[in-house]
């Protein structure tokens, strides 16, 4: 088993397979997009397979595919099948925006994906277009229906944004009455690719919860899993449930079990750090895995205690990354 310098078990990797996305959500990237990485800078499927095999041998058992949008990368499903065959990988999950996903739902099941996080900030078609700057709502909902038909465990990720989708919070809660999904409301984070920073956040997890309580006073707390990032609740008579994620307030760092690998192979031991290890270069310059294993262990021994400490390591650099390059 892998532990960091704070005694936290690390068993979960979030793997960004691309920095590209087919939506332009304004909280994630500028309208004109970001400067995408050239293909030669991305980890190849062979390199990803080698890396996950190594990580699995060290104690990582859970993999989440993220992007950008994973399905924008050519032959993404081939990679999923390959990773599913690696010894030690016991769980595979996917985060997708759902635009291109529907035709692959059966393949995802066959490959062994256990749950899917679908990014849906609103159930209103026009607001969806305004937030994502693309008219893809119908494709996303088609994916949602298909995932539920195929008995996938589905979580809806909804970023809560002042002046943008506050009116969508309650309809999303109501959606869980007739659909067996978990809707997770996420505090907005400072990664929009434009360097904007939110020193103060109005719609904190507490405020989101208070807002929901005004319409659903019978909200009942569920027991959260040990490394859960969301505070979870159930409502009597609803098939699904809801959760609130304090992504900006960072209240769940004490049990953080996750690392991130960006599409170009940079290790992030915290969402808020600047990247702590260039895995790609180590993979490309070493036929043996040993130097990379040592470098990874070193990085795990120097993890920041929490997202605030990690953010200090980027002081002066500003916050200009896009969530699309970080992998969510």
Binding site for ligand SF4 (CB under 6 A): 250, 252-253, 256, 258, 270-272, 306-307, 310
Task: Considering the complex, state which of residue 184 and residue 258 has its C-beta at the smaller distance from ligand SF4.
Answer: 258
Indicate the residue among 63 and 108 with the shorter CB distance to ligand SF4: 63
Q: What is the nearest approach in angstroms of ligand SF4 to the Cβ of residue 158?
A: 18
Residues 160 and 169: beta-carbon distance below 8 Å: yes
Q: How many whole angstroms separate alpha carbon 273 and alpha carbon 262?
A: 12
Nearer to ligand SF4, 123 or 256 (CB): 256
CB of 257 vs ligand SF4, minimal distance in Å: 8
Q: Dihedral, CA atoms, 24, 29, 30, 34, nearest 10 degrees?
A: -100
Question: Least separation, in Å, of the C-beta of 106 and ligand SF4?
Answer: 33
Contact between residue 3 and residue 10 where contact means Cβ atoms under 8 Å apart? yes
Coil vs helix vs strand at 105 = helix
CA distance 56 to 314: 29
The DSSP code sequence of 145-185 is HHHHHTT-EEEEEEEE-TTTSGGGHHHHHHHHHHS--EEEE
Q: How far is the CB of 124 from ligand SF4 (least distance, A)?
A: 30
* Token pair listed for 136: 């893809």
Closer to ligand SF4 by Cβ: residue 144 or 319: 319
Least Å from the CB of residue 192 to ligand SF4: 17
Nearer to ligand SF4, 307 or 327 (CB): 307
Nearest-CB residue to ligand SF4?
Answer: 307
Strand partners, 221: 233
Q: Taking the complex as a whole, how short is the minimal distance between the CB of residue 270 and ligand SF4, in angstroms?
A: 3
Between CA 233 and CA 210 the distance in angstroms is 13
């Amino acid at each position: 088993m892998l532990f960091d310098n704070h005694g936290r078990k690390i068993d979960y990797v979030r793997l960004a397979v691309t920095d590209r996305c087919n939506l332009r959500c304004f909280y994630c990237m500028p309208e004109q997009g970001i400067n995408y990485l050239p293909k030669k800078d991305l980890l190849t499927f062979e390199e990803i397979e080698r890396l996950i095999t190594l990580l699995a041998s060290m104690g990582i058992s859970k993999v989440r595919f993220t992007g950008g949008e994973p399905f924008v990368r050519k032959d993404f499903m081939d990679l999923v099948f390959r990773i599913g065959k690696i010894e030690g990988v016991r769980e595979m999950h996917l985060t997708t925006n759902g635009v291109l996903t529907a035709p692959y739902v059966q393949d995802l099941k066959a490959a062994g994906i256990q749950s899917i996080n679908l990014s849906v900030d609103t159930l209103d078609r026009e607001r969806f277009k305004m937030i994502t700057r693309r008219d893809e709502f119908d494709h996303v909902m088609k994916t949602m229906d298909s995932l539920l038909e195929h008995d996938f465990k589905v979580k809806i990720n909804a970023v809560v944004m002042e002046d943008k989708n506050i009116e969508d919070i309650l309809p999303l809660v109501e959606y869980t009455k007739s659909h067996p999904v978990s809707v997770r409301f996420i505090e907005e984070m400072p990664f929009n690719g434009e360097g904007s920073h939110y020193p103060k956040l109005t719609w904190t997890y507490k405020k989101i919860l208070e807002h929901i309580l005004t319409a659903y006073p019978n909200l009942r707390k569920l027991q959260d899993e040990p490394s859960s990032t969301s505070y979870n609740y159930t409502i009597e008579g609803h098939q699904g449930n809801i959760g609130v994620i304090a992504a900006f307030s960072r209240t769940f760092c004490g049990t953080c079990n996750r690392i991130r690998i960006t599409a170009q192979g940079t290790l992030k031991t915290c969402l808020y750090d600047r990247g702590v290890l260039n895995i790609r270069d180590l993979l490309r310059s070493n036929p043996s895995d040993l130097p990379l294993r040592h470098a990874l262990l070193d990085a795990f021994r120097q993890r920041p205690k929490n997202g605030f400490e990690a953010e200090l390591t980027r002081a002066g650099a500003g916050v200009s990354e896009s969530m699309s390059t970080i992998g969510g």
